[in-house]
Structure 1
Amino acid sequence: MLYAGIAWDAGGYEIEVVDGAGRSVAPRARFGADRVTELATYIKGWDREQPVVVVESTNGILDGRLMAAGLTVFRADAHLLPPRPRFGSVPAGVVARAARRTPGALARLERSRGTQTGRESELAGWIASTTAEVAASTAAGLLVSHGARDRKEIALTFDDGPQPGNTERILDVLESYGVPATFFCVGMNARAHPDILARMREQGHGFGNHTWSHPFLPELTRPQLAEQIERTQEAVAEASGGPAPTLFRPPYGARTPEVLGWLAETGLTTTLWDVVPDDWSMPGADTVARIVLDQARPGSVVLLHDGGGDRSQTVGALPVVIEGLLARGYRFTLVEEMTPRAGVAAATGQPAA
């Protein structure tokens, strides 16, 4: 049995393949975040046997793309690994050898369940534990799940990109209708594809921070979370040629009271949603469109995805969603325009950011 451990750092991904005895069977290979297709091809190209692919839980943006390429991917959780550095994962060889030692403890990921496969109850528990904190943060203007309910406005949001192909097709659709959207970008992807962020800026879209590597936030230390956010702020600003985002969205919506307390100190507005068609799980374009149209209300924030895997169904659903909402008299706006910050700016005549 061969085990391919994948690590991430500021420059992209590292992969190391070990055999059943834990010996490295090839030199470590590196791939930038713009070379994920090549990474998948490298793994699939092994003549001897296809390795078991293993990521760890702070590497939450890669597995969907590897599974879309036909690979089987497992997740090694934190208790199987040594402590992580302040930024980046443990080395690829460490991930591979931990998988070799405890193969039965790995979680086999499913495309319809995503990186959190097997952890759905834990994730739900984290989220449920923050009901009071979410209400308090919303009242304090630190968190937004939707805009004013007395305005027929809708904010479309897209997470996990930019991803070539997916994001560009979504931008094409938005441009054809003259509709703005807010893109919550993963820092690693933003750094790898500045041309796509430049196009977003030119078309008048908004930006949010979605961390560098899409980790489970409750597993991070405070310095690790700060590093994820700060590096993504820099990457989005540099790639887009504009200011750093004022919005932050936690991957998976994962949060605890402690994490929300840390986020409140960043100066960013934590952004959740109230319309969620789970388009990432590939339920079908018709289903995605129907759920959005059924759940949409004045002030809704719609959660969609342009990165992290095959998003052809999202692209297919988007015209139906836009035309359906326009027919009901809705106008599209940016999330920033729904925040308390925007309301204060409107009242004072000052810019929102």
Structure 2
Amino acid sequence: MLYAGIAWTADGYVVEVIDDTGNRTTPATPWGAERVPELTEWLGTLGQTSGQRCAVVVESTNGLVDGLLTAAGLDVHRADPWVLPARPAFGSVPAIALAERARTDLASLSPLTAEGGGQTGRDEDYHDGIRRSAPIEADLTRSGRCFRHGPRDRQEIALTFDDGPDPVFTRQVLEILDRYGVRATFFCVGQHVNALPDEVRRITEAGHSLGNHTWSHPFLPDLTHTQFRLQIERTSEAFERSVDQVPTLFRPPYGARTPEALGELMADGPALALWDVDSWDWARPGPEKIATTVLDHAQPGSMILMHDGGGDRRESVEALPAVIEGLLERDLHFVAAEDLMTSSRP
């Protein structure tokens, strides 16, 4: 059996592959963040050519590659902090440590599914963080710095896309938005902003707005205060390099919150933008189901969550025309997420 560990760094990813004896089968291989589709294909080929099952391991602060890996049918596992050595302030544990953990104790890792995504098996931690964060979230909401939707008495709605930019799917989304003449907001991850600055410029040049979605799409309860702050700061710096602007909105990966993270936003950070309509497109239920889910739950003021990156987003793209047409039929006006925030402030 083979064990492939994928570590994330400021420059992309590093992959280490070892066999049952702990010997490296390939040298440590760097991959740019824009090459995740190639990385996915390479890992699939690796298992086929060797004739061995290959267990792929990521850690809980790397939420950007599991979507494509699971969609490709690969055997993907997540390593949580309590089974790993300490992480640096920015970056994951080394890829060899991830591969070695899988080799010595695969049962200690969580198998990931397309339906559960990178958060598979962490529901209790997720909901505990939400409960503990409620007082700070309420304070942010009262001050106009946290919102899920805008006013219900105005014919406005916000369409938002997470986890991009993606060199394929973001362009397809932009083409559809342009065809209908509607505006959207893209909550981008720093890894992709850094690797694909031209795609970020395409978004802004088309008249859409941007939001900060962390650097590596981590599960926030597993971050220290410093690690969370660096996720936000490094992503803001990548935006500034690519489009000379820093987003004023932040969306947490998976919608996870902790008091420590919200305290950072409370002190001096972007406003917290959540959502009230989840399309569930990340679970790939089919384009018809995605469109139906959105149209069944959307109402004036809604903030709709969809995805243009972080996985196989073909179904999201296929569903988008039906979503837009259904909302336009209700005479809803598409605005940027920050416009909803401004109009919903007390």
TM-score range (shorter-chain normalised) is over 0.9
Query: Which residue of the other structure, out of 201, 205, 226, is the alignment partner of 1:198?
Result: 201
- Compute the displacement of 1:202 (Å): 0.9
Separation in 2 of the partners of 1:82 and 1:9?
16
- Aligned to 1:55, the other structure's residue is in SS state strand
Aligned residue identity for 1:321: V
Query: Which residue of the other structure, out of 286, 304, 307, is the alignment partner of 1:305?
Result: 307
Question: What is the aligned partner in structure 1 of residue 7 from structure 2?
Answer: 7
Separation in 1 of the partners of 2:57 and 2:233?
27
- Compute the displacement of 1:83 (Å): 0.6
The 5 Å alignment of 1:84-95 reads: 84-95=87-98
Separation in 2 of the partners of 1:262 and 1:38?
36
The 5 Å alignment of 1:65-214 reads: 65-214=68-217
Aligned residue identity for 1:119: R
Aligned residue identity for 2:65: L
- Compute the displacement of 1:69 (Å): 2.5
Output the TM-score relative to the length of structure 1.
0.93
Separation in 1 of the partners of 2:70 and 2:170?
19
Question: What is the aligned partner in structure 1 of residue 23 from structure 2?
Answer: 23
Q: CA RMSD of the aligned region, Å?
A: 1.6
Question: What is the aligned partner in structure 2 of residue 44 from structure 1?
Answer: 44
Question: What is the aligned partner in structure 1 of residue 339 from structure 2?
Answer: 337
Query: Which residue of the other structure, out of 324, 328, 336, is the alignment partner of 1:326?
Result: 328
Q: Does the CA contact (< 8 Å) of 1:8 and 1:59 recur in 2?
A: yes
- Compute the displacement of 1:101 (Å): 1.7
Q: Does the CA contact (< 8 Å) of 2:190 and 2:238 recur in 1?
A: yes
Aligned residue identity for 1:9: T
Separation in 1 of the partners of 2:249 and 2:334?
18
Question: What is the aligned partner in structure 2 of residue 282 from structure 1?
Answer: 284
Answering whether residue 248 of structure 2 is matched by residue 243 of structure 1, we say no
Q: Quick check: 277-286 or 243-252, which moved more?
A: 277-286
Q: Does the CA contact (< 8 Å) of 1:234 and 1:244 recur in 2?
A: yes
Query: Which residue of the other structure, out of 38, 54, 59, is the alignment partner of 2:57?
Result: 54
Percent identity, please: 52
- Compute the displacement of 1:136 (Å): 1.9
- Compute the displacement of 1:75 (Å): 0.6
Aligned residue identity for 2:37: T
Q: Quick check: 60-69 or 45-54, which moved more?
A: 45-54
- Compute the displacement of 1:113 (Å): 1.2
- Compute the displacement of 1:341 (Å): 8.5
Aligned residue identity for 2:309: G
Q: Does the CA contact (< 8 Å) of 2:151 and 2:344 recur in 1?
A: no
Separation in 2 of the partners of 1:278 and 1:113?
11
Answering whether residue 265 of structure 2 is matched by residue 263 of structure 1, we say yes
Moved over 4 A (4+): 341-344
Q: How many positions carry a matched residue from both structures? A: 343
Separation in 1 of the partners of 2:268 and 2:116?
30
Structure 2 residue runs of 5 or longer lacking an equivalent are none
Q: Deviations over 1:159-189 (max 9, x none)?
A: 0011121111111110001101000001001
Separation in 2 of the partners of 1:41 and 1:334?
36
More helix by share: 2
Aligned residue identity for 1:174: L
Q: Deviations over 1:18-44 (max 9, x none)?
A: 122322222111111111122122222
Q: Deviations over 1:312-340 (max 9, x none)?
A: 11111111111111111110000111224
Question: What is the aligned partner in structure 2 of residue 63 from structure 1?
Answer: 66
CA gap 1:296/1:264 in 2 versus in 1, 3 angstroms: same
- Aligned to 2:113, the other structure's residue is in SS state coil
- Aligned to 1:41, the other structure's residue is in SS state helix
- Compute the displacement of 1:102 (Å): 1.4
Q: Quick check: 204-213 or 307-316, which moved more?
A: 307-316
Question: What is the aligned partner in structure 1 of residue 256 from structure 2?
Answer: 254
- Compute the displacement of 1:51 (Å): 2.1
Q: Does the CA contact (< 8 Å) of 1:160 and 1:210 recur in 2?
A: yes
- Aligned to 2:167, the other structure's residue is in SS state coil
Q: Quick check: 21-30 or 91-100, which moved more?
A: 21-30
Output the TM-score relative to the length of structure 2.
0.95
CA gap 1:211/1:260 in 2 versus in 1, 3 angstroms: same
Aligned residue identity for 2:339: E
- Compute the displacement of 1:343 (Å): 6.5
- Compute the displacement of 1:121 (Å): 2.9
Structure 1 residue runs of 5 or longer lacking an equivalent are 345-353
- Compute the displacement of 1:68 (Å): 2.1
Q: Deviations over 1:68-103 (max 9, x none)?
A: 223121111111101100100011001111111211
